[in-house]
Amino acid sequence: MMNSKGRALGMLEVCGYSTALIVINEIYHHMDIKVVAININKPAVAILEKIPLQAQVKFIGTLDQVNAALELGYKVALKYNEPEDIISDCIPNPHEGIEKMIKAW
């Protein structure tokens, strides 16, 4: 069984940098998590009118907080994106190699 107090890495990918900032703002108002990275990607095969760029927000916290932040972030992103354009995932108790890559733990 996973420890709700254990560390977790959350990743939420949305369309648009503005959407990512709105999601981060909302999460920070309600959750005790730390954003550790925002990665921007312009997909080569994207329909630019629909997906000008993708933004992936990576954040850390306890497993419970990260899962709650992913749920809230998804709901906020739905105001600006279609469901198929939002990707979210949680890595509970990530391997120490992942932690070293993030350098924020």
Q: Is residue 100 assigned to a domain?
A: no
20-34 pLDDT per residue, tens = 999 999 999 999 999
Contact of 9 with 54, CB cutoff 8 Å? no
Q: Is residue 99 assigned to a domain?
A: no
Q: Is residue 70 assigned to a domain?
A: yes
Q: Is residue 97 assigned to a domain?
A: no
42-97 pLDDT per residue, tens = 776 656 566 678 999 999 999 999 999 999 999 999 999 999 999 999 999 888 77
> What's the CATH number where 31 sits?
3.30.70.1710
| Averaged pLDDT of the chain | 86
Q: Is residue 2 assigned to a domain?
A: no
Burial of 96 from C-beta contacts in 10 A (0-12 / 13-18 / 19+): exposed
Q: Is residue 48 assigned to a domain?
A: yes
End-to-end Cα separation, the chain, in angstroms: 22
Q: Is residue 3 assigned to a domain?
A: no
pLDDT at 41: 87
Number of structural domains (the chain) is: 1
Tally Cβ neighbours within 10 Å of residue 60: 22
Q: Which residue range is the domain that position 82 belongs to?
A: 10-89
Q: Is residue 5 assigned to a domain?
A: no
